Structure 1
Amino acid sequence: MTKPEIHVADSPEALVHMVSEWLQRVTLEAIREHGCANLALSGGSTPKPLYQHLASKESLPWSSIRLYFVDERNVGPMDPDSNVRMIREALLNRLPVPPLSVFPWLTETDPRESLARYRQALAILPRSDGYPELDLAMQGMGGDGHTASVFPGSPQELSRDWVAAGPGPGTERLTLTLPLLAHARRVAFLVAGSDKATRVQECLSGESQLPAAWLTRHAREAHWFLDRASASAL
């Protein structure tokens, strides 16, 4: 629960390079410390260029990395709105990532089964206060202040489980919960665009009750990576 670190890049392109270098550094640090890095990746349009850049670098030992997914829509794996589809196309299909080191959400089924399967996948991780401990959770932030698939006023916002299911725009969502994400060794928000500037300022003010603000306050170590446009209200 320390003050978040704010990193500002001059452009969206510079932001991708900044986050890529930082992500590679903390991932290698985790591998040196305990032989494996446990990362959770987010979907959406903002991180896609980051994943494409990481795929082009090929500088990480992917056989020593486990990849989880912060959240997912309850749609098929080939659906255009699927987070796992985007991340596979941008990153995983272009790298020698062992399939058994990737943990996608089970979709198109009863959400209770999906949550039970993901609890099993998370149970192999070391624990922090009873929660599985990720080395890094990469987060986005929506225009309403949501992060992961935890929306303001949603049932997911109140969950103290490891995982939760609930409503989201367009379709049902499956998500890691805020308490689990807060127990990650590091949480990193990646935000770009002037349309997010006011909400970024609100979430970093220390008073907001929005999901992204809650996670920032309660994270063990929080980083916000912004371009000039999204940081313009700070």
Structure 2
Amino acid sequence: MTINVSDELLGTFVPIIVYWVYSGMYAMLGSLDVYRLHSQKDEDEKNLVPKKEVVKGVLLQQALQALVASLLYAITGGNFESTQARQRASVVVLAAQFVVAMVVLDTWQYFMHRYMHLNKKLYRHIHSYHHRLVVPYGFGALYNHPLEGLLMDTIGGALAFLLSGMSARASIYFFSFTALKTVDDHCGLWLPGNLFQLFFSNNTAYHDIHHNLCGNKYNFAQPFFVTWDKIMGTYMPYSLEKRSDGGFIARPVKE
């Protein structure tokens, strides 16, 4: 018996599955101290929220994302194109849609993220939830206040989908890729051969600077590029150094 699963259903739930599988891999690799940006002791002592609460918070955000995605697919019919047009979409068209979606998502998240730091009330009551993870780890990537999750991630993703014109099928790949990249940026591990860390300047070390007190007003860009940080003067590069107890440490380099 053949079971047909719609692209819309896959687009809603596959990125969530990808998120937990990939972050689960990083959780298992976390015991490899030689690749960590922070020691396990720092992770256990400095973080201000237990992991059970982090899991609950992420699942809540993903439930809201799934609801919004379902509504969005229902309203748009999965896309503005016919099924035949989606099937004929060339690699060039798909690549262009991915680039547009990445730029839209980066732009939305940069300015929303930065404003949540500049506005003291928003930071204290909303964005500070995410910064309870002083030492980030993979499955905590989407640990946010529910309102922040809605404003920054869910609405940003919806805009990226709508403005790029991608189909529901293309969105499966785009949002799965985004989930991988978001987890990777928070994983806290500098692994040899990691393609995300090789090809993207916005990586786990770059974002780790932002979670440090000295970098709290820098490196707002996420999840793909560092372009807006450079344009807006909030870019803080880093240098990687070996820790005396093993592993690495990302140190800010003020230009």
Q: TM-score, normalised on structure 1?
A: 0.29
Q: TM-score, normalised on structure 2?
A: 0.27
| Larger strand fraction of residues | 1
Q: Which has the higher contact order (CA 8 A, sep 6+)?
A: 2
